[in-house]
């Protein structure tokens, strides 16, 4: 595991900064899982994060608290949408990490579309 990604090992949340077409940044605290030097975020297809990543793959991430307060060093990265065949495994990892909270959250977000998995590679 690279030194850049180690700061995320014990974190429960990351603050993920994505960018609008006009360059304005939008920060969102999200759950995540780590695997093979990648950070994976599970979200829904109808969220702004997905739209912004489709338009601009550049992101910044930092370990954070529930409200997004940074608890580490911001890292630049490139995000992409993961193929559906790998998505199921990442969703299972997320469900294992967050347990009951993940199940509860899925009930409240189901109207925002299907699950989408974003992979982030620190650059």
CA 52 to chain CA centroid, nearest Å: 13
The answer, yes or no, to whether residue 78 has pLDDT greater than 90, is yes
Residue 106 pLDDT class (50, 70, 90 cuts): low
CATH number of 3-122: 2.30.110.10
At a CB cut-off of 8 Å and minimum separation 6, what does 23 contact?
none
The answer, yes or no, to whether residue 103 has pLDDT greater than 80, is no
Tell me what the pLDDT averaged over the chain comes to: 90
* pLDDT number for residue 108: 62
CA 1 to chain CA centroid, nearest Å: 18
Percent of the chain at pLDDT > 70 equals 90
pTM for the model: 0.90
- Give yes or no for a contact between 8 and 34, defined as CB atoms under 8 angstroms apart: yes
């Amino acid at each position: 595991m690279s030194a850049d990604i180690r700061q995320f090992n014990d974190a429960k949340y990351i603050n993920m900064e994505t960018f609008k077409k006009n360059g304005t940044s939008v920060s969102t605290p999200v759950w995540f899982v780590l695997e093979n030097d990648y950070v994976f975020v599970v979200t829904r297809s109808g969220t702004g994060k997905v739209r912004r990543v489709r338009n601009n793959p550049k992101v910044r991430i930092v370990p954070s608290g529930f409200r997004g307060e940074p608890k580490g060093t911001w890292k630049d990265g490139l995000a992409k949408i993961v193929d559906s065949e790998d998505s199921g495994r990442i969703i299972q990892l997320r469900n294992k990490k967050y347990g009951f909270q993940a199940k509860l959250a899925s009930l409240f977000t189901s109207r925002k579309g299907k699950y989408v998995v974003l992979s982030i590679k620190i650059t």
